C-alpha cells in the first residue's frame, strides 16, 4: 500500500521538482538523498537529472511553477523513472563509500570514534539496498573500493605515472603490464 501511495505521489509531483534530487548531511553527519526538498533550513546540494531541463519539462500557464495556483503537468513516467534511477545510483554510491569507510574504521586501519562508526552505519542503513542480492553487490563494490584505495594501488598508480612521464624510457611492455594491473585492481567502482 505504501509503495502504491509513493508511486502516486511521485506522479503528482510537478515537473519542475522532478528534474532534480537533493543530497544533504544531517546534524549527525548522516547523508540523505531524496527527490523531495529537505526540511526548511537544511542546506542541500541539488543534483539535476542529466538531459532534463526545467524549460523542456515544465509547463505552466502564466505564472511560475513554484507559486500557488500554477498549473503544472504531472511528471511523465519517463522522468519519474529517470529520477528513480539517478536516486538509486546516488544511494548505491553513498552506501558503498559508507561500507568501505566503516570497514577501514572498524578494522583498526584508521583511528575512529564511536560517533563516526554510528554515522557510517546510519548512512549505510539509509542508503544500502534491503534486497539481499543487491546488497551483496554493494558489499562487493565496497571491497573493490577498499582495494582501489589501498597503498598498493596508490603505489601502482604512481609507478604508472612515472613510467608514462615525458622523457621516460620505460619499455612499452612494462607500461602495459602496470596499466593492466591498475585497470583490473585499482579502478574505483563508484564515482
Burial class (CB in 10 A: 0-12, 13-18, 19+), 171: exposed
Question: Are 186 and 153 spatial neighbours (Cβ–Cβ below 8 Å)?
Answer: yes
Q: Which sequence spans correspond to the domains of the chain? A: 150-191
**For residue 20, what are the β-bridge partners?**
48
Quick one: pLDDT at residue 13? 41
Quick one: pLDDT at residue 49? 65
Tell me the whole-structure pTM to 2 decimals: 0.63
Quick one: pLDDT at residue 127? 94
Quick one: pLDDT at residue 161? 93
Mean pLDDT split into 10-residue runs, the chain, 191 residues? 37 46 85 85 80 42 43 73 87 94 86 90 94 95 91 92 91 93 88 69
Amino acid at each position: 500500500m505504501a509503495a502504491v501511495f509513493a508511486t502516486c505521489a511521485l506522479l503528482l509531483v510537478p515537473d519542475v521538482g522532478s528534474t532534480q534530487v537533493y543530497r544533504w548531511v544531517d546534524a549527525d553527519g548522516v547523508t540523505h538523498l531524496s527527490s523531495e526538498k529537505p526540511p526548511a533550513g537544511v542546506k542541500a546540494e541539488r543534483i539535476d537529472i542529466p538531459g532534463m531541463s526545467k524549460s523542456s519539462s515544465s509547463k505552466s500557464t502564466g505564472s511560475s511553477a513554484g507559486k500557488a495556483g500554477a498549473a503544472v503537468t504531472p511528471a511523465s513516467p519517463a522522468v519519474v523513472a529517470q529520477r528513480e534511477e539517478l536516486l538509486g545510483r546516488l544511494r548505491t554510491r553513498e552506501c558503498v563509500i559508507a561500507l568501505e569507510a566503516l570497514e577501514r574504521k572498524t578494522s583498526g586501519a584508521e583511528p575512529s570514534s564511536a560517533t563516526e562508526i554510528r554515522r557510517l552505519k546510519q548512512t549505510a542503513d539509509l542508503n544500502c539496498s534491503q534486497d539481499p542480492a543487491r546488497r551483496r553487490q554493494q558489499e562487493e563494490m565496497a571491497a573493490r573500493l577498499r582495494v582501489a584505495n589501498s597503498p598498493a594501488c596508490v603505489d601502482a598508480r604512481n609507478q604508472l605515472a612515472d613510467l608514462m612521464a615525458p622523457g621516460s624510457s620505460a619499455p612499452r611492455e612494462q607500461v602495459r603490464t602496470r596499466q593492466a594491473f591498475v585497470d583490473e585492481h585499482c579502478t574505483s567502482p563508484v564515482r
